[in-house]
Amino acid sequence: MSMYRQLWLSILASVLIALGASLLVSLLNARAYLEAQLAMKNQDNATTLALALSQGEHDRERVVLAATALFNSGHYQLIQVIDPDGKGLLDKVAREADAGAPDWFVRLLPIRSLPGRAEIASGWQRLGTLTLMSRASFAYRSLWETALTLSAVMLAAGLLGGLLTTLVLRRITRPMRAVIEQARAINDHRFISIPLPTVPEVRELAAAMNDTVNRLRVDFEEDARRYEALRRQANFDPLTGLANRALFLASLDSALDSEESPYGALAILRLRMLGKINRNQGREVADELLRRVGRSIDELTQRCGGTFAGRLNGGDFALLLAGGCDPAPSLNELLQSLPNLVVPLAGDYSTTYIGYSLFARGDSPASLLARIDTALAAADAGGTSVVREATRADATEAASPLGAEQWRTSLRQALADPSALSLAHYPLRVGDGDVPHRECPLRLRLGGDQAWLPATRFLPLADRIGMAHELDMATVELAIAELERDDALGGLWINLSAKSIADPEFRRRLLKQLRDHPACRRRLHLEIPEAGGLSRLNALRQLSRDLKPLECRIGLEHYGHHFNRIGLLYDLGLDFLKVDASFIQGLDQNPGNQAFLAGLCEIAHRIGMQVYAEGVERQEEMDKLDELGFDGASGVLVR
């Protein structure tokens, strides 16, 4: 039984006992008063009647007749007349009549009526002794009415007292509930502070809890700043602030290898005459030029969500652009913004080229870079700043819809056909790997005789035309059906788009699916892309809280590129992080990333999150991950 209920019941019992005792005492006092009044009435009536019978000439027969007539009037319970010799002249006792109150009440509170006595005389001659006792029904009726009135008053007082008690207890327990919710949040890995309540005892407890949370938050933020510095030192160009060559090429490799990559195009920006600027105008001018170009590219990545940029070497910058969209408008916008930055410093040496190419999973990084380099060479031959696309000479991809409406129609047809959607399966090592876990990205087939398309081919487009939530719900349904078929599976890991979790209707349908399948939801792991999840924090926080009672796990995938925002994870209650493959490749030979990832594991474990690695290719990388404290991994080596 809760403390609130115990307090309420104990106070209620105390009030009822006090009111019951008050009622009993009041009734006993009222009964004593009525008994005294009844005794006085009996004596007064007996005296008055004896005086009346003593007037005039009366003998014993007349006294008996007068007393009998008086008894027959019905006002008396008992009339007795005894002569001086002790002989009874009259003994009248009335039959039981209505007492004016319930029988149980009469039995519980009997009224003892003392009879009145007086002498009857004629002159100096004693005729007898008169004993008289009036009926007690009026007394019982009065006592019963008093009991009813007192009970009603005390009931009203009890209800009012119960209401006041409830209000007081709510005032006390409301801050206690806040403290309990804070403790539950900490248990769910959400470290939150609460306003200090006004109740002194609870205020001290809340202050202590807040102090603990604040100390954890301060330590957390200090560690995050330290490890963020290590991350930037190991993975970012100190001059421009963009990703360095190693990190960018690792990200490119991951994008070409993964079915879940959000990228679909690679672009390279080249400052053609950076060497001449360096020789003729000095290194400081060249460095300032690189910084300005880096800032302009960084502004583009902030405007175009999902874009990742880096500096390859010298005057070459590279961008990974989100799949499913035409990169040409964004790149032309970037090219048009550069003259205002470059011309004041470089003058005649301000020519800039941008080459780009779409890519698909399985493309070779070397061939992709060579293709773009050819496009840059062609632009160089023209001699003017230009954006040029490098087309695939060996394009053999299956035909697919091109326009938004064609994609919308094809996706709706696929959603209506159960055989057009399926889940791919890739093993994921969790812990010691004894229990099988699978990563399951969605695949789609646009026609019965066509090949299965990986998620990178259609999910970015579906996201842009507003159909990502329908595909995500289909993914959830397929995953639940598979978990129901295979009890041996330790868990299925599926991807959800950030736009889907921000849709209240999608969250409602998702939670209903999970509630309808309690045996499956504990083995389902939902992955949200890092960039999208952090851009929709409120939706991510709400979904995380809704999933806690259902024991379904949720976390961020492709994590690490926004580590500087790790403080936002403090109150989300996420269950895991999956570190992007770009930080894993060559980990055994990169001390900077080793220090950064060791710190990431320490911070994540401190707030109850598990950490997994994506894209592990070599045993040396796996050995280093185990040494750093990772909880699991996926990638070519695991497959």
**pLDDT of 499-508, one tens digit each?**
899 999 999 9
**How high is the mean pLDDT of the chain?**
83
CATH topology of domain 243-389: Alpha-Beta Plaits (3.30.70)
DSSP H/E element including 321: strand 316-322
- At residue 324 the predicted structure's pLDDT band, cuts being 50, 70 and 90, is low
Q: Cα–Cα distances in Å, from 433 out to 491, 585, 604, 634?
A: 12, 21, 21, 11
Start and end residues for every CATH 3.30.70.270 domain found in the chain: 243-389
Q: What percentage of the chain has pLDDT greater than the value 90? A: 18
Residues 257/586, Cβ–Cβ less than 8 Å: no
Query: What is the three-class DSSP state of 254?
Result: helix
Tokens, residue 279: 């020789």
Tokens, residue 390: 């490098």
pLDDT at 394 over 60: no
Query: What is the three-class DSSP state of 351?
Result: coil
Average pLDDT over residues 602-624: 90
* 51-71 per-position pLDDT tens digit: 877 776 666 777 778 778 877
Residues 462/471, Cβ–Cβ less than 8 Å: yes
pLDDT at residue number 346: 65
pLDDT at residue number 3: 62
pLDDT at 165 over 50: yes
Start and end residues for every CATH 3.30.450 domain found in the chain: 3-160
pLDDT at residue number 76: 78
* 133-157 per-position pLDDT tens digit: 887 777 888 888 888 888 888 888 8
pLDDT at residue number 59: 65
Listed residue (58, 126, 51, 63) closest to 90, CA to CA:
63
pLDDT at 8 over 80: no
Q: CATH for 404-634?
A: 3.20.20.450
pLDDT at residue number 160: 84
Least confident stretch, 120-134, 301-315, 461-475: 120-134
Average pLDDT over residues 84-99: 76
pLDDT at residue number 126: 76
CATH topology of domain 3-160: Beta-Lactamase (3.30.450)
* Sequence letter at residue 82: I
Rounded Cα distance between 451 and 149, Å, is: 88
Rounded Cα distance between 497 and 323, Å, is: 14
Average pLDDT over residues 20-24: 84
Residues 147/105, Cβ–Cβ less than 8 Å: yes
* Sequence letter at residue 38: L
How crowded is residue 290: how many other Cβ atoms within 10 Å of its Cβ? 22
pLDDT at 396 over 50: no
**Most confident listed range (115-124, 167-176, 390-399, 544-553):** 544-553
Residues 312/248, Cβ–Cβ less than 8 Å: yes
pLDDT at residue number 399: 45
Start and end residues for every CATH 3.20.20.450 domain found in the chain: 404-634
Task: List CB contacts of 577: < 8 A, sequence separation 6 or more.
Answer: 555, 556, 559, 600, 604, 609, 610, 611, 612
Query: What is the three-class DSSP state of 112?
Result: coil
Listed residue (248, 370, 367, 234) closest to 318, CA to CA:
248
Rounded Cα distance between 122 and 514, Å, is: 105
Task: List CB contacts of 79: < 8 A, sequence separation 6 or more.
Answer: 67, 68, 70, 71, 90, 92, 130, 131, 132, 133
- At residue 384 the predicted structure's pLDDT band, cuts being 50, 70 and 90, is confident
